[in-house]
Structure 1
Amino acid sequence: MTDMKKIMAEIVGTFILVFFGTASVVLTLFINDGQTFPSIYNIGITLPDWIGIGLAFGLALVVAIHALGPISGAHFNPAVTIGLWAGKKFPGKDVIPYVIAQFIGAIIASAALLAISGPKASTIGALGGVGPFGDISIIGMFIVEFLGTALLMYVIMATAVDKNAPSIDAALDIGLVLAGIVIALGNFTGCGINPARAFSPMLFNFFVSGANAFIYYPIYFIAPIVGAIVAVYLYDYFHKEIGY
């Protein structure tokens, strides 16, 4: 049976990541509400806005890793958990409890954001949800979510999993990489790269504003998991000679 402290740590850590990250998106859309954006590629979030959003996600993750990493390993993302399990770095018996905990944490985060800001957090801010922006194709969405998660997972392997990694602040490295990924890829898909983070805003937006983005959810679920698994195996391929 999975240690309840680990489960609670995953719930709290995922809450921190999703709440503060998506709150920055909602706040940005509140501030920019009513402005005219003539381009289909401008969704009401400009590049400077994405920098702030990326930093919000990244710094939230840094704090959560430092606070809770010693307890649960600080996954906070079903793709990370499944990727580590696929690479035999995480016990199979803990996968489902961890994933359930991560979804619970994300759902609580979106519920809290809705409780704080009211329905406009959904109708205007979309609860910081994800979706296709501009004219990106389904294939393009898959590639973006795959690559973003693969990069994040590879850095996790290189800094937090590899016992031969140099003495560095893994949390800061991982948080900065997440920030960079959000800044670079946010305007394509909203940069989910986390099935739990993508799910919770979709759930509440459906009930509050009637917005149904679940048609895209398979991409936000499958692509990150595939990306994480590929990254783990790629890291293993490059480093199996020296062991880690």
Structure 2
Amino acid sequence: MEPPVLFKRCVAESIGTALLVLIGAGTAAFNGVITASNNAATTLADIGVISVAFAIVVMAMIFTIGRISGCHINPAVTIGLAVTGHFAWKEVPAYLIAQCVGGIIGAMAIVAVLGMDGLHLGGLGATSLGSSTGYVQGMVVEAIAAFVLMFVIMGIAVDSDAPVNWAGLVIGLTVGGLIMLTAGATGASFNPARTFGPYVINSLAGGNISWAQFPVYVIGPIIGAIGGAVAYKGLTTKPQVVGSDPHSVKV
């Protein structure tokens, strides 16, 4: 069966990324509203709830639009797949634009749901470095998270030998676990579009955003995703025997 045309796949990516930001980052924003209103600190239990929200929406999107666009909903994932030959480079720009547009739409939808408190108190769930996290350390943390995510995606969704119908659950739970680990250090993005949308709407509405930190959420995830994809491909590539000489192999 022929895959949907590029335009339809891009629309699916935009919708998927928008819902990722709305439900995932929106839950983080709602938690920010609650903690700010009660003058309370964010707890590990709060991080757990946010992680579950992200896990749920990632699972839902994979099962919903995976058959349409592949459900990348993350520029780093798209680039990682392209580097390893699992996605056409000529389609990468269209996917990246669709994902970033989706991130902006999702951030706007948070305002629609939570009102201006979601922006002024919750920051639209925008990511930022922890008080004790340095710039380079933040980039490393984001790279590690993206590496793990991409490694899992390659194994459960891309590999032809992967068990069928498990991708949504496994990838969703992986995202949730990574957020629990890295939220304190970087806000747990490992997705440039997820960070981009809330940054844009915060900036347009006069929110407090440090664009100087944005490269952390672009460079780190892209490096990590490429590393995860290349590492998995390297581990699973089988040598092909050429001719009758058993010592002549092509990798």
Q: TM-score band (shorter)?
A: over 0.9
The residue aligned with 2:12 is 9
TM-score when scaled to structure 1?
0.93
Decide whether the 8 Å contact of 1:150 with 1:231 is kept in 2: yes
Question: Following the alignment from structure 1 to structure 2, what is the Cα–Cα distance between the partners of residues 121 and 99?
Answer: 26
By how many angstroms is 1:2 displaced?
Answer: 5.3
Decide whether the 8 Å contact of 1:159 with 1:168 is kept in 2: no
Of residues 2-11 and 224-233 in structure 1, the stretch that sits farther from structure 2 once superposed is: 2-11
Within a 5 Å distance, the mapping from 1:1-244 to structure 2 comes to: 3-36=6-39, 44-241=41-238
RMSD: 1.6
Question: Following the alignment from structure 1 to structure 2, what is the Cα–Cα distance between the partners of residues 210 and 54?
Answer: 24
State, as a whole percentage, how many aligned pairs show the same letter: 35
Counterpart amino acid of residue 11 in structure 1: S
Distance 1:103 1:180, change over 3 A: same
By how many angstroms is 1:13 displaced?
Answer: 0.8
The residue aligned with 1:40 is none
- Name which one, 1 or 2, has greater alpha-carbon Rg: 2
In structure 1, the residue corresponding to 2:23 is in which secondary structure? Answer: helix
Question: Following the alignment from structure 2 to structure 1, what is the Cα–Cα distance between the partners of residues 39 and 152?
Answer: 38
Decide whether the 8 Å contact of 1:114 with 1:122 is kept in 2: yes
In structure 1, the residue corresponding to 2:215 is in which secondary structure? Answer: helix
In structure 2, the residue corresponding to 1:74 is in which secondary structure? Answer: coil
Question: Following the alignment from structure 2 to structure 1, what is the Cα–Cα distance between the partners of residues 105 and 207?
Answer: 19
Decide whether the 8 Å contact of 1:119 with 1:208 is kept in 2: no
Q: Note the residue ranges of structure 2 that are not aligned, 5 or more in a row.
A: 241-251
By how many angstroms is 1:211 displaced?
Answer: 1.3
In structure 1, the residue corresponding to 2:129 is in which secondary structure? Answer: coil
By how many angstroms is 1:133 displaced?
Answer: 1.3
Counterpart amino acid of residue 28 in structure 1: N
In structure 2, the residue corresponding to 1:156 is in which secondary structure? Answer: helix
Decide whether the 8 Å contact of 2:30 with 2:114 is kept in 1: no
Question: Following the alignment from structure 1 to structure 2, what is the Cα–Cα distance between the partners of residues 81 and 2?
Answer: 17
The residue aligned with 1:41 is none
Of residues 201-210 and 5-14 in structure 1, the stretch that sits farther from structure 2 once superposed is: 201-210
Aligned pairs, number: 237
Question: Following the alignment from structure 1 to structure 2, what is the Cα–Cα distance between the partners of residues 207 and 98?
Answer: 24
Decide whether the 8 Å contact of 1:58 with 1:179 is kept in 2: yes
